[in-house]
Structure 1
């Protein structure tokens, strides 16, 4: 219509829209019918995207419509609801159906409780957990689901409510990627498991979590940061960590990147903030949630093994047995909780108005507030990742050692060479994983000295990487010295920094495997992330925010 009117205007004729419609109708033209729900139903890409948003990300209808519109599929809410129902995606079951299947629902919940996966879960975490694990559980209302858990595990519910703590100190940030809060979880270090994670302070979105034998080394933390920056395509305006020496290379690396993308006038305190773990409230609060959700049970179990003489940190065979049996289990549990956390709904809190309600992954990926992160300098991040690619970040034991342990378990009656997942309800005796650990430990200890020596562990890259001290690094080190807790830590920092220029961490020439899903738990699937990088706030406003954070 518009094109025809424009053509007529070029001929100095201005027919009305009604005249044009009459001419088109007499010529046999018909108005184009808008795409119907049936037409959209036949689009496989759209069907797949809706299934991901509905089942995997557990979003409400209105949010799904907004996301689809941003990605090019426009439809009113009512049309989407009709399409969703035609695809068989229901929101609720009829009450009669719920009553009929009550025993089935309780059986599924009981299995999850027995495996220790629901410890400390509230209503929203429960709903997010079951929504993706069991499609049919998505049809169960949040309150009814919590009611079943309350009936099946009243003691666990009591322990959850009695363990609540109120954290002091709050702060707000101007948008996503303004501040990444990073910290290590040290409760399982004595057993060979080091855990490190980062959370976006604005949205509570878990950016990554790492479990391995060497998370608290300078190289490991730097490698995690570099891979996350490459994955998300941006770095935060500010990083907040504690005073551990493992963040020295991270501080220098992030500072030099900020100098490249913001300009040489950038100061260290404008992009890096460190203090005590108690003040790092975002990640510390999340560690409490993680501990209540099942991680704490591992500590209790491992301490029992030590008390019974079944594990000694000084024994190489014990360390290998522990890592082989339990690293995959702990990683799986951590990733399951991260996925649940990023999808669960944070409620609006009347007494804590600074808490932003919503689902962390939606708040992070589809925020209505300007993103405060810095676009990455691709060449710099690539070079940074090249320096650590020789160390395989996800390796917990060498492949030869893993295959040797699998062969032993196969001969001991475990066909897959692995034990079943942990189940902490041990009323029927020892669980399969504990039996597998005991047998593997016994067989490894029976090996000759030569055979034991041939079994290797994956050691932490304690030597640092090829890193030449610069004036920038000197500034970072001086700031760390100011915050050294005692003379021993100061001497250790001087020794570490003095050795960096002489120690190499070379790659072995082998391309590193792509970072698996469990390291960077982004929940978007199929299509790329929406949203463009917005420039950071004015430096004066950013400084005000940092001052409030330091005072909290």
Structure 2
């Protein structure tokens, strides 16, 4: 029973409804319980959606903390889901009112209308993965690469590193995901950049002996980056939820004369910020994968949560899992041609020098963007003064 309670608590904190929790337990965990039992467990675990509302001062404090960082770019539904994940009991309407009271200017800015995109349709999860790189932070030494499932909009991977141009590094993201989900997609889509060449070769290798219509050469699709609709749309989400915040931090460092774009500055950015940015990406992805997508007229989208649409397409009449099985030895062969992320976020010599300076001066490791910016300027000043 303890395992069931842990799962119920996890799924509740992810914002799922009672019906969705029952579906997850039955289809994903092979645990069948009644709605009455689920409600009893929620009561026992003090999991309430309306009762025992969290004190308003706590909600205000939470919102202020979020708005001090990348949360200032997020709407009330997104912050509401974050609050639920952290154990607060608050309604969407209360969250909307608190945000409007604290950040009226931000609310007005988020009212800007978005461009309509052409209709997109797909036949099920793993029918088409969209892969691309995000270069907005690249001038500062941070490169992001990601992949999203076309049907469910479930984010397959989202990685921040010091490069997104090494094909062996990108290939490692791909093959690690293939190993994790137990197969490769029916098709992959990416732009013609050389960084995607290894992924193409591996996809064709893994699909060479399949007999479906998209087997072998048809299993990989090249196209211009701007037309890679699903991942390009997600980059817009990322920029609003986190990317713009980091761009503003780095632009401030540049404007204040603390960033020149040379080798040292980029490596210091990587040393101070890379792990924080990856943690932020992970949080954005977790929130996105569990949020509720609402259909829009004329866009051919399905109503549902990405994680449920990806893991349990059978609950959606139009979805059928298209994953293609692969042999473990084939995955192992591909893995030999990959380069995993290095243990050091930046150049090893710079890393060791920074670690030494931090130890000598008694500086603390950064816990947020502002502490990271302070550490960056301290390290930069110390190094430049002693060159």
Match of 2:22 in 1: 65
Match of 2:194 in 1: 245
Deviation by residue 1:183-211 (Cα, 9 ceiling, x = unmatched): 11011111111100000000010010110
Q: Is 1:301 aligned to residue 249 of structure 2?
A: yes
Checking the alignment, whether the CA contact within 8 Å between 1:177 and 1:200 is kept in structure 2 is yes
Deviation by residue 1:44-82 (Cα, 9 ceiling, x = unmatched): 122222222222x32111121222233333222122212
- The 5-angstrom pairing of residues 116-155 of structure 1 reads 116-123=70-77, 125-132=78-85, 134-135=86-87, 137=88, 139-155=89-105
2:266 to 297, 301, 319: 319
Q: CA deviation at 1:366?
A: 1.4
1:441 to 376, 380, 383: 380
Checking the alignment, whether the CA contact within 8 Å between 2:69 and 2:245 is kept in structure 1 is no
Give distance in 1, aligned partners of 2:371 and 2:377. 10
Q: Is 1:331 aligned to residue 278 of structure 2?
A: yes
Deviation by residue 1:152-195 (Cα, 9 ceiling, x = unmatched): 11111211122x32233222111000000011101111111110
1:292 to 240, 260, 275: 240
Q: CA deviation at 1:399?
A: 5.8
Checking the alignment, whether the CA contact within 8 Å between 1:120 and 1:289 is kept in structure 2 is no
Match of 2:4 in 1: 46
TM-score of the superposition, structure 1-length normalised?
A: 0.65
The structure with the larger Rg is 1
Give distance in 2, aligned partners of 1:72 and 1:447. 62
- The 5-angstrom pairing of residues 47-126 of structure 1 reads 47-55=5-13, 57-70=14-27, 71-94=29-52, 101-123=55-77, 125-126=78-79
Q: CA deviation at 1:309?
A: 2.5
Checking the alignment, whether the CA contact within 8 Å between 1:200 and 1:206 is kept in structure 2 is yes
Structure 1, unmatched stretches of 5+, are 1-42, 423-430, 449-552
Q: CA deviation at 1:287?
A: 0.4
Q: CA deviation at 1:263?
A: 7.8
1:356 to 275, 294, 302: 302
RMSD in angstroms over aligned alpha carbons? 2.2
Checking the alignment, whether the CA contact within 8 Å between 2:344 and 2:351 is kept in structure 1 is no
Q: Secondary structure, in 3 states, of the residue corresponding to 1:195? A: strand
Deviation by residue 1:437-485 (Cα, 9 ceiling, x = unmatched): 111001122345xxxxxxxxxxxxxxxxxxxxxxxxxxxxxxxxxxxxx
Checking the alignment, whether the CA contact within 8 Å between 1:259 and 1:265 is kept in structure 2 is no
- The 5-angstrom pairing of residues 321-470 of structure 1 reads 321-349=268-296, 351-352=297-298, 354-368=300-314, 369-389=319-339, 391-393=340-342, 395-397=344-346, 401-414=350-363, 416=364, 418-422=365-369, 431-448=370-387
Aligned residues between the structures: 382
Q: Secondary structure, in 3 states, of the residue corresponding to 1:255? A: helix
Q: Secondary structure, in 3 states, of the residue corresponding to 1:374? A: coil
Give distance in 2, aligned partners of 1:342 and 1:284. 16
1:281 to 225, 229, 251: 229
Change (3 A) 1:127 1:376: farther
Q: Is 1:201 aligned to residue 154 of structure 2?
A: no
Q: Secondary structure, in 3 states, of the residue corresponding to 2:42? A: helix
Change (3 A) 1:395 1:434: closer
